[in-house]
Amino acid sequence: MMSEGPSRRASRLGAAALLGTIALLPDPAASQSGADVARAWREANEAEIIDDFRELLTYPNRARDIEDVTSAATYIRDLLRAAGAESELLSIDGVAPAVYGRLMVPGATRTLGIYVHYDGQPVDPSNWTHPPFEPTLYSASMEAGGTPIPFPAPGDAVDPEWRIYARSAGDDKGPIAAVLPVLHAFREAGIAPTSNLVFLFDGEEEAGSRNLGRYMEMRAEALDEVDIWLFFDGPAHQSGRPQLTFGVRGAMGMEVTVYGATRNLHSGHYGNWTPDTGNILAHLLASMKDREGRVLVEGWYDTTDPIGPEERAALENMPDIEADLKRELGLAWTEGEPETLPERLLVPALNVRGITSGNTGALARNIIPNTAVAALGIRLVKGNDAAHVRRLIVDHIEGQGFHVVSEDPDMETRLRYPRIAKVTGGGGSPASRTEMANPFVQEIIAATSDAADRAFGTGSLVLAPGMGGTLPLYLFTDVAGKPAVNVPIANHDNNQHAPDENLRIANLWYAIDLYAALLTMPRGVS
């Protein structure tokens, strides 16, 4: 798999002259635009670009498999070097390395930070149509009746509706496979980006980016020069249109356990007498959120930062996908109606991720379970402090008459308190939101809008003030104090986090157009 890795590519693409810097060349505006150069280069090298992507996808990349992710990171480091950037691995014992890189442009007065994660979600190969690290090309999506086809040879025509199936195709190796050709195209054409570039490729994103902050500290000086971070991650808008998003919700997991007797009891011998843990938990959960989805925990909505006029305008201009989405998902109602999904993503959420107590179905037994456990999924928005929100939840549980503990109660505690709840978890990652009014952000919007117009039609770009999911954006926005914009390129139906993950080739081409546009934005703000 690795035998003809980076070296093959390096020889095909020409070795980098001087890693990490690039000769100052004529302003691209003076001749061919960066986007045109990258487009032409892509059109001349489609099979090669796809083959490079295929090779990148063969690297297993679950964050906890240190040997695997180190191989993948080393391979990517060498790819960056071959594309003319300086690059190195940042390492901490026992955790996945980060790939750091830099490309300095003499005379550039702006620095773009580029975040990608090269690690992937765990896989259960038995649920995949093909082995997840043996990339397979399809004539179209499986759902649309696509069938496996051979990878193209150089010069073969490439259909943009093809899909490449493999773990991380959509989340998040696609951006790596797209940004490198842009760098090669620029070098070959003798043009330079209009910004310095700092690359940070996370190897632990799917495992919570627990060490990303430490890696960032290792290169604090270089990262401090970044003017705006671009997060190359995530899918297109559900409408299929490209999007930019300006924030993510934070995530916090908590778990609540309620107690009955010290052991499961026979539901015949003790039913009607011993506390019914499922019912106790039901009353508690029901007290936390009403039937329409409004969280009843006191203070829940009090610390949400208000949005500005740009965000409000963006919300109003977003495609109305409610009806389609409800039809697709089989829903006759949604929480908080008539508010829309994008609006609902700007307020903190409290959901039940899971409940376990006894068993159901064929495994159900005639017992009254001695515990009932609920895993709560909390999503935070800008303004929420995780510790404060956790406190609100604990206060609520206490307000429902529970004695709250952090460990399983001992006998003395059991005999003293009628209702006991163990509450664990908390922490998690904070929310982040970048004001759309920020001038660097306005530049990114303009460049992305141009690329989207070109790839998907005029006015196709969707501006979404907040994403529902969670990325470690806060490290960049709140800890490092920089604006950060999420710049997704994957098709909406890329099956991220699921079997048969894929990337549509048209989206890879869009990424190349887009990154070329971003890397050659006019030298504005500085």
Contacting its own copies within 406-445 (CB under 8 A): 409, 411, 414-418
304, 351, 405, 453: residue in contact with its own copies (rule CB under 8 A): 351
Stretch binding its own copies (CB under 8 A), from 78-86, 100-108, 185-193, 287-295: 287-295
What 3-state class would DSSP assign to 518? helix
25, 47, 355, 479: residue in contact with its own copies (rule CB under 8 A): 355
Q: Least distance from C-beta 103 to its own copies, angstroms?
A: 32
Q: Least distance from C-beta 477 to its own copies, angstroms?
A: 17
Measured over the CA atoms of residue 473, residue 476, residue 482 and residue 484, the dihedral's sign is negative
Q: Which helix (H) or strand (E) holds 371?
A: strand 371-380
150, 306, 309, 330: residue in contact with its own copies (rule CB under 8 A): 330
Stretch binding its own copies (CB under 8 A), from 6-14, 69-77, 91-99, 263-271: 263-271
Which residues in 291-310 contact its own copies (CB under 8 A)? 291, 293
Task: Considering the complex, state which of residue 141 and residue 196 has its C-beta at the smaller distance from its own copies.
Answer: 141
d(CA 514, CA 446): 11
Task: Considering the complex, state which of residue 78 and residue 343 has its C-beta at the smaller distance from its own copies.
Answer: 343
Task: Considering the complex, state which of residue 251 and residue 393 has its C-beta at the smaller distance from its own copies.
Answer: 251
Task: Considering the complex, state which of residue 153 and residue 263 has its C-beta at the smaller distance from its own copies.
Answer: 263
Stretch binding its own copies (CB under 8 A), from 1-9, 28-36, 322-330, 438-446: 322-330
First to last CA, the chain: 44
Which residues in 30-89 contact its own copies (CB under 8 A)? none
Residue 128, token pair as written in the block: 């995949």
Residue 389, token pair as written in the block: 């929100």
Binding of its own copies by 459 (CB under 8 A): no
Task: Considering the complex, state which of residue 20 and residue 336 has its C-beta at the smaller distance from its own copies.
Answer: 336
d(CA 53, CA 50): 5
Question: Which of 480, 494, 512 is closest to 229 using CA atoms?
Answer: 480
The size of the interface with its own copies (CB under 8 A), counted in residues, is 89
Amino acid identity for residue 481 in this structure: G
Stretch binding its own copies (CB under 8 A), from 30-38, 218-226, 275-283, 434-442: 275-283
Binding of its own copies by 273 (CB under 8 A): yes
Question: Which of 504, 526, 524 is closest to 177 using CA atoms?
Answer: 504
Neighbouring C-beta atoms of residue 229, cutoff 10 Å? 26
Stretch binding its own copies (CB under 8 A), from 11-19, 88-96, 135-143, 280-288: 280-288
Residue 73, token pair as written in the block: 């990171």
What 3-state class would DSSP assign to 256? strand
CA distance to 102, 161, 364, per residue, from 349 (Å) = 38, 36, 31
Question: Which of 185, 174, 189, 34 is closest to 516 using CA atoms?
Answer: 34
335, 395, 398, 478: residue in contact with its own copies (rule CB under 8 A): 335
Task: Considering the complex, state which of residue 347 and residue 452 has its C-beta at the smaller distance from its own copies.
Answer: 347
Stretch binding its own copies (CB under 8 A), from 57-65, 74-82, 264-272, 514-522: 264-272
Task: Considering the complex, state which of residue 379 and residue 482 has its C-beta at the smaller distance from its own copies.
Answer: 379
Q: Which helix (H) or strand (E) holds 504?
A: strand 502-504
Stretch binding its own copies (CB under 8 A), from 58-66, 83-91, 144-152, 346-354: 346-354
Amino acid identity for residue 525 in this structure: V
Q: Least distance from C-beta 34 to its own copies, angstroms?
A: 33
Stretch binding its own copies (CB under 8 A), from 38-46, 125-133, 247-255, 390-398: 247-255
Binding of its own copies by 222 (CB under 8 A): no
Binding of its own copies by 338 (CB under 8 A): no
Which residues in 365-404 contact its own copies (CB under 8 A)? 365-369, 372-375, 377, 379
At 15, give phi and psi (nearest 5°): -70, 150
Question: Which of 441, 389, 398 is closest to 417 using CA atoms?
Answer: 398
Binding of its own copies by 272 (CB under 8 A): yes
Task: Considering the complex, state which of residue 18 and residue 329 has its C-beta at the smaller distance from its own copies.
Answer: 329
Task: Considering the complex, state which of residue 425 and residue 524 has its C-beta at the smaller distance from its own copies.
Answer: 425
Binding of its own copies by 349 (CB under 8 A): yes
Binding of its own copies by 278 (CB under 8 A): yes
214, 283, 312, 388: residue in contact with its own copies (rule CB under 8 A): 283
d(CA 89, CA 43): 32
- 3-class SS letters over 53-103: HHHHHCCCCECCCHHHHHHHHHHHHHHHHHCCCEEEEECCCCCCCEEEEEE
Answer whether 452's CB lies under 8 Å from 239's CB. no
Contacts with 92 (C-beta within 8 Å, 6 or more apart), sequence order: 211, 214, 215
Which residues in 463-492 contact its own copies (CB under 8 A)? 467-470
Contacts with 438 (C-beta within 8 Å, 6 or more apart), sequence order: 228, 483
**Chain-centre distance of CA 361, in angstroms?**
35
Task: Considering the complex, state which of residue 190 and residue 418 has its C-beta at the smaller distance from its own copies.
Answer: 418
d(CA 350, CA 400): 17
Strand partners, 199: 101, 114
Q: Least distance from C-beta 324 to its own copies, angstroms?
A: 12
Binding of its own copies by 405 (CB under 8 A): no
Answer whether 68's CB lies under 8 Å from 62's CB. yes
Residues in the chain: 526
Stretch binding its own copies (CB under 8 A), from 20-28, 176-184, 344-352, 436-444: 344-352
